[in-house]
Structure 1
Amino acid sequence: MSDAERPLDDDTPKEECGVFAVAAPPGRDVSRITYYALHALQHRGQESAGIAARDGANVTIQRDLGLVTTVFDETSLRSLTGDAAIGHVRYSTTGANKWDNAQPVAQTRGDDIVALGHNGNLTNTGELRTEMEAAGADLRASTDSEIIAALIAAEEGSLLRAVCAVMPRLVGAYSVVVISGSELVAFRDAHGVRPLVLGRLDEGGWCVASETCALDQIGARFERDVRPGEALRLSAGGIESRQALPSAGGRTCVFEHIYFARPDSRMEGTTMWESRSAMGAELARESGVDADLVVGLPDSGTPAAIGYAQESGIPYSEAVVRNRYVGRSFIQPDQAMRQHGIRLKFNPLPSVIAGKRLVVVDDSIVRGNTTQRIVQMLLDAGAAEVHMRISSPPILWPCFYGIDMADRAELVAVGRSVEEIADLTGAHSLAYLTLDGLQRALGKPASGFCRACFTGEYPIAIPDSSLKLRFEPGEREPAAA
């Protein structure tokens, strides 16, 4: 696929998935609570959505391709009754975008059923799939989430006991919610790569979610993070905790802070907006440039751009308008429309840009093709100079833990200097935030994060390198941190 033919959102790391679960006292509409929580998590996945609700001993599942607002309506929500529910929004980091891979996935468990939603990615899926198929498991999807559900369904005893028995066999990153006819359980991998928070409903009941913005949406109070390696059984009356795996210390995906989590979500007491603004300020201190305006590429580059402007003293201006109704599944334009390229997603304001030297702040560069088109768009709109500033370090390694990222051979920063990347994009200058600058902005040590996409130091065992990694002559292979 040529750069001109790539989807317009193909130059950013793609979202993972979002999960939610709630157990509430009688009278609370758990399906509607879940619907609104998923709406708050929609940025984490736009390909499919699903809810599984428990009424008595029966679990009812509805899932389909599309956004939350298209998958569910009043009629469908009224059919999802009960005292507990789980929900999921998906972007396909593993498995094709087809109905079979929508979640929650389900497996029979004796006379019961388990339904499961998963955010993350296992790195030993092939080994587990071979094992489950040999045992006669009915596997219809192509996701690691289905493997987790099948493993749990094969265990005897309570759902919490089954989850605790399965967790040591899962290698990779996972935050999971699972429901049966009698229990609701949430659990997280020992490294805590993918986020999961615990909340309490004001009128009784408990919930977990991928981000605190979902708790805010439904009026729940944040209690704490689900601990790495912890499994929680949730009921209307309380929670039961098991430390199923020893905590490996917590290695939250650093891209949650840079890009994925919603700006109003909080992690360790800090909103993502504050973290991103601090990244922009560090970027200004590290790589200042004479300019007339600071511009953020909406929406992900805006907080860092404001931080850059405040630190540098250069005025901030909204100079690019984003069409928020262009999703990842829109009909691809024909060749004539491709001449307008990036304008389907962004449109500049020439009256603001003309004759100005611009500092343009974005969160990351993956392949470089979209950055190249943005630079050209701004120059065509009359910008005198375009200086790109990126509020993260260069992406040099692919992710195996739930982020859809390019193969290493496609990463523009591999084998190129910053000056060469600037020449490729057409920018007058280019600078990335350094790793040290990133950690200063986050205010926490590097040991608290997974930064493998920048360093190649993977905290969890990864698959055989032939799957996705490409090594240049003389390069070292990545080591487990």
Structure 2
Amino acid sequence: MGGFFGIVSKTDCVADLYYGTDYHSHLGTKRGGMAVRNTHGFHRAIHNIENSYFRSKFESELAEFHGLQGIGVISDTDPQPLVIDSHLGTFAIVTVGRINNLADLIDKAFARKDYFSSTSDGITNPTEVAAMLICREESFEAGIRSAQEAIQGSCSLLLLTDKGIYAARDRLGRTPLVVGRRADATAVTFETSAFPNLGFETVYFPGPGEVVFLTADGWEQRLPAGERMQICSFLWVYYGYPASEYESINVERVRYNCGAALACQDNTEVDLIAGIPDSGIGHALGYANHKKIPYGRPFVKYTPTWPRSFMPQNPEMRDLVAKMKLIPVRRLIEGQRLLFCDDSIVRGTQLRENVQILFDCGACQVHMRTACPTLIYPCEFLNFSSSRSTLDLIGRKTIQELEGAEDKDLREYAESGSSKNLAMIESICSKLHLTSLKYQHLDDLVAAIGLPKERLCTHCWDGSSYY
């Protein structure tokens, strides 16, 4: 997915920018970047973070950064920030999202004799395309509005200008945006967890399509929010950091609620409840506390030397990293009936290996409960599962095996408790060698979050969404 952080301060902002951006490292693995503006202009740096961490890449060059305002990004796609010279002035830009009509926008630009630079892999940078759309208009506000109307998918962005920072949430609010204040500075972030240790108080959650302008003295609305919102439900289930809030709703609380909802639907007798680290832990705690069954850690994660396994480009490497980071605790496994909670099951490859390890360590039973329904539809908006083919999703692959046709009766399979839904789950359970498998009902997931369903994007599970 990716995430960003921006700050305008009355004193040098570099340390805050560095740590604020770093607090988004759980959202992406490809590129990290920062840009600051000072009396000499813009200073920018971008680094590859696929096999390292943001902090380690930027720490040695922090002394080169000086300024009262800056933006930073953790990107799972293109190198950012970009610095753009235009009739609107020179500005830096970062974006997060997915532009589904990128090729069409590029073709139209070529027809007008526009041009783009290329990234190292020969692909036009989507952030540059967003900047091009903005620069066609006579003001930043008009340009952002025009870009959001032209982009199909989602695109939230920060613009660092000579007077302050424009922060724009994507048109349907699929990604979050949060404004924070302290006495000497104003900041904007994806994750509210970036604020407390930097001394910021959360003061405002911009709505879908809203644009705000930040200075060191505060913020003001430049474009109003739209009426329709479909924020990604998976932010609470998986992507988000436990300490963060979206729409004033805490991630860890939602995960606890999800686990409790799973427990309400379950009468399985087990000895120990566990979470697949790390995102499954909150769900498992909710389950264990509701059932009053002991919570334990039969798997522990080892992170000091292993890179993040969020979304490496090579599936085999992703599975290897995930496997090597989870170490079984045999004394908590042997002779036990274990029930694990996790955020979701995407491909199932690594889970199948983990289940086998548990049985090899002497587990009597291994049950799995997932905090969301079966993933059937690839994400069209935030790059989650977008780099994988449809049949990489174990739910979709299983449907094809049952039906002999990839797209047949998808909505029936997505309906919790239907005969086709139960047949799909039984088949997945058998593939993963689990004792039992149950998925969250979509209605229970929506209730756990606490927003009306029409305000949430649930496309991955039921195929519904606005465009």
Check whether the contact 1:31–1:51 (CA below 8 A) recurs between aligned residues. no
The structure 2 residue matched to 1:69, chosen from 48, 55, 62, is 55
Aligned to 1:281: 260
Q: After the TM superposition, which residues 356-367 of structure 1 pair with which residues of structure 2 at under 5 Å, given as runs?
A: 356-367=336-347
Is residue 377 of structure 2 the alignment partner of residue 397 of structure 1?
yes
Cα separation, 2, equivalents of 1:444 and 1:164: 26
Letter aligned with residue 167 of structure 2:
A
Secondary structure of the 2:296 match is coil
Rounded to whole Å, the distance in 2 between the matches of 1:374 and 1:439 is: 29
Question: How many percent identity over aligned positions?
Answer: 29
User: 275-284 or 40-49: which moved more?
Assistant: 40-49
Q: Pick from 307, 316, 324: which aligns with 2:295?
A: 316
Secondary structure of the 1:72 match is helix
Aligned to 1:419: 426
Cα distance in 1 for partners of 2:285, 2:88 equals 56
What corresponds to 2:155 in structure 1?
A: 174
1:93-172 matches, within 5 Å, as 101-110=78-87, 112-134=89-111, 135-141=113-119, 142-157=124-139, 159-172=140-153
Does residue 234 in structure 1 map to residue 214 in structure 2? yes
* Equivalent position of 1:449 in the other structure: 456
For the pair 1:54 / 2:37, whether they are aligned, the reply is yes
Matches within 5 A, 1:290-329: 290-325=269-304, 326-328=306-308
Q: C-alpha displacement at 1:155, in angstroms?
A: 3.2
Superposed displacement of residue 338, structure 1: 12
Amino acid at match of 1:287: D
| RMSD (Å) for aligned C-alpha atoms | 2.4
CA deviation string 1:69-93 (max 9, x = no partner):
122125x22322122101100112x
1:123 Cα deviation from its structure 2 partner: 2.0
Which residue does the alignment assign to 2:171? 190
Residues 57/180 of structure 1: CA separation in 2 closer, same or farther (3 Å cut): farther
- Helix, strand or coil at the partner of 1:413: helix
Residue number in structure 2 paired with 1:89? 74
Q: Of 11, 22, 42, which aligns to 2:7? A: 22
Q: Which amino acid aligns with 1:106?
A: V
Q: Give the distance between the partners of 1:147 and 1:116, measured in 2 at CA.
A: 11
Aligned equivalents of 2:143, 2:464: Cα separation in 1: 32
SS at match of 2:104: helix
How many Å separate the matches in 2 of 1:441 and 1:386? 25
Please report the TM-score for the alignment, with normalisation by the length of structure 2.
Answer: 0.86
Residue matched to 1:208: 188
The answer to whether 1:270 aligns with 2:255 is no
Q: Cα distance, 1:262 vs. partner?
A: 0.2
For residues 242 and 340 of structure 1, what CA distance do their matches in structure 2 show?
47
Amino acid across the alignment from 2:35: A
Q: Which has the higher contact order (CA 8 A, sep 6+)?
A: 1
Pairwise CA distance, 1:440: 2.1
Deviation at 1:400, TM superposition (A): 1.5
Structure 1: how far apart are the matches of 2:63 and 2:109? 36
SS of 1:73's equivalent in the other structure is: helix
The number of residue pairs the alignment matches comes to 429
Q: What's the offset of the Cα at 1:237?
A: 2.3
In structure 2, relative to structure 1, the CA distance for the partners of 1:436 and 1:375 (3 Å cut) is same
Alpha-carbon spacing, 1:230–1:111, altered in 2? closer, same or farther (3 Å): closer
Equivalent pair of 1:288/1:312 in contact (CA under 8 Å)? no
Q: For the Cα contact (< 8 Å) 1:108–1:153, is it kept in 2?
A: no
Give the distance between the partners of 2:248 and 2:457, measured in 1 at CA.
Answer: 19
Quick one: distance in 2 between partners of 1:243 and 1:174?
A: 16
Cα pair 1:23 1:84 within 8 Å, conserved: yes
Identify unmatched segments of 5+ residues in structure 2: 403-423
1:221 maps onto 2:201 in alignment: yes
Matched-pair contact (CA < 8 Å) for 2:88–2:138: no
Deviation at 1:57, TM superposition (A): 6.6
Question: How far is the alpha carbon of 1:50 from its aligned partner?
Answer: 0.7
Secondary structure (helix, strand or coil) at the match of 1:109 reads coil
Q: Distance in 2 between matches of 1:342 and 1:87?
A: 27
Query: Residue 411 of structure 2 corresponds to which residue in structure 1?
Result: none
